[in-house]
Amino acid sequence: MQAQTFSEILANRSKAALSFEVFPPKTDTSYDHLRQILPELVALKPDYMTVTYGAFGSNQGRTLEIAQSIQNQFHLPTACHLTCVTSSRAELDGILDEISAAGIRNIVALRGDAPQGQATFTPPVDGFSHANELVAHIRAREKAGRQPRFGLAVAGYPEKHLEAPSLEFDLLKLKDKVDAGADCIITQLFYNNADFFAFVDKARALGITVPIIPGLLPILSARQIARILGLCGSTLPEGLKQELDAVGDDAAKVEEIGIRQCVNQARELIDRGVPGIHFYVLNKSTHMTQIMRGLGRA
């Protein structure tokens, strides 16, 4: 059976589609760990999974290998993330050919961040400057018969992208990505649902009609969350910040707060009718078991 695309997964659902994002680890030991926990994540019955490309210093070369193993071994629809970082059009074409030949039907199309040591993103020679160009390129290849139609997701930022001068500017650029052919939007992590609902209202007012899927990162470690927030520009609501500050370095208590907060946040989003929730699972499974149970999905 052919794997489903984002649009097929999101169509006519009575329940929000829940998805898990994993990243290809750098070391062989962490890779073995991911292979061990994949069956545990799949047992929680996400509707699809995505595999990042070069994020968190991960190993780009293994994105397709992991996506393929999720799809072929576990029969779960999968998406490969793909960025414009350091790749020319010809190199991106080579990767797209490989993804297509592997039977993967979905791509999360991104610009990517500047490589480590570089302050700003510089477009590669004969490459793309922004994600909308990658989306347009993929759709043009399809039109030319070079590949079957992919499901395409792009990134949205409820608290605006770090480099954007304003949320309004960023939303106009998001519209460019959708107009270029994206089927849905997956958001950056956020902790205040009011930011997400305001973002959706503004996107709809601009004529963006595709599904907007909130991205949630359960907090499991105070140090890790501080680092991630610093990198992506998302913020913690004051109440949550105070709650975390009060338990300091007590890892078990931080995790307990993080899981409870994530379940509550997801419940409200689901109650308000989101089409799906994308969980940044950071290659761990135990907390996701508790979260899926909290949502009545495991």
Catalytic center residues: 21
Least separation in angstroms between residue 247's CB and ligand FAD is: 28
Residue with tokens 């829940």: 18
Q: Which of 55, 107, 210, 274 binds ligand FAD (CB under 6 A)?
A: 55
Cβ(188)–Cβ(215) under 8 Å? yes
Footprint of ligand FAD on 15-34 (CB under 6 A): none
Kindly give, in sequence order, each residue whose CB lies less than 8 Å from that of residue 164, ignoring residues fewer than 6 positions away. Answer: 157, 170, 173
Q: Which of 8, 93, 98, 113 binds ligand FAD (CB under 6 A)?
A: 113
Q: Which of 22, 70, 108, 200 binds ligand FAD (CB under 6 A)?
A: 108
Instruction: State the number of binding residues for ligand FAD (CB under 6 A).
Output: 25
Q: Which stretch binds ligand FAD (CB under 6 A): 125-133, 141-149, 195-203, 287-295?
A: 125-133
* Binding flags for ligand FAD, 226-265, as an x/- string (CB under 6 A): ----------------------------------------
Amino acid identity of residue 4, one-letter, is: Q
Share of the chain residues as helix, strand and coil, in percent rounded to the nearest 5 = 50, 15, 40
Kindly give, in sequence order, each residue whose CB lies less than 8 Å from that of residue 117, ignoring residues fewer than 6 positions away. Answer: none
Nearer to ligand FAD, 161 or 287 (CB): 161
Q: Which of 5, 59, 68, 83 binds ligand FAD (CB under 6 A)?
A: 83
Q: Residue 167 in 3-state DSSP? A: helix
Dump the DSSP string for 146-197.
SSPPPEEEEEE-TT--TT-S-HHHHHHHHHHHHHTT-SEEEEEE-S-HHHHH
Task: Work out whether 104 is an interface residue with ligand FAD (CB under 6 A).
Answer: no
User: How many helices and strands in the chain, by DSSP H and E?
Assistant: 11, 8
Footprint of ligand FAD on 162-201 (CB under 6 A): 163-164, 169-170, 173, 177, 186, 188
Q: How many angstroms separate the CA atoms of 195 and 272, rounded?
A: 14
Nearer to ligand FAD, 98 or 243 (CB): 98
Cβ(291)–Cβ(279) under 8 Å? yes
Task: Work out whether 62 is an interface residue with ligand FAD (CB under 6 A).
Answer: no
The half-sphere exposure of 155 on its side-chain side, counting CA atoms within 13 A, is: 22
Task: Work out whether 215 is an interface residue with ligand FAD (CB under 6 A).
Answer: yes
The residues of the shown chain that bind ligand FAD, judged by CB under 6 A, are 52-55, 81, 83, 108, 110-113, 130-132, 155, 161, 163-164, 169-170, 173, 177, 186, 188, 215
